[in-house]
Amino acid sequence: MTDREPSQVDEQEVYSPELVLIAPELRAASLERLALAEAAVRERREAERAAGEVVSREELREKTLTGVRWLGGFRAISIPLSFASTVVLARLIDPAAFGRAAIA
């Protein structure tokens, strides 16, 4: 294609068979580059925003305790639930199948 205005582009040039065959590959590559560029911009903005933030000791302590509480709650629920599911499976299936499942 030449350096013409978009309104001057011949329709046959735009819809040529060669471009139709190449377009999905180019489109995928363009979308991938666009996604990477957007991610880079987003990371840079977050870094700039984070660089300007000053977190107080009390706020940091509060956020840490909140995280510890969530993690502890998750563990307190997931461990007994895992044990209960193991007991249920042991009761529902025969011992040989349970042994194979335990090994896997």
pLDDT in tens, 66-102: 999 999 999 999 999 999 998 888 888 888 887 887 7
Q: How confident is the model at residue 1 (pLDDT cuts 50, 70, 90)?
A: very low
Examine the domain organization and report whether 98 and 60 are in the same domain. yes
Examine the domain organization and report whether 73 and 38 are in the same domain. no
Examine the domain organization and report whether 47 and 74 are in the same domain. no
Mean pLDDT in residue range 26-43: 80
Instruction: Report percent pLDDT > 90 for the chain.
Output: 24
pTM: 0.40
Examine the domain organization and report whether 71 and 42 are in the same domain. no
Examine the domain organization and report whether 45 and 63 are in the same domain. no
Tell me what pLDDT residue 22 has.
57
Examine the domain organization and report whether 43 and 79 are in the same domain. no
Structural domain containing residue 45? 1-53
Does position 65 have pLDDT exceeding 60, yes or no?
yes
DSSP state of 104: -
Torsion on CA atoms 10, 13, 16, 18, rounded to nearest 10:
-170
CA 84 to chain centre: 31
Examine the domain organization and report whether 46 and 77 are in the same domain. no
Total domain count, the chain: 2
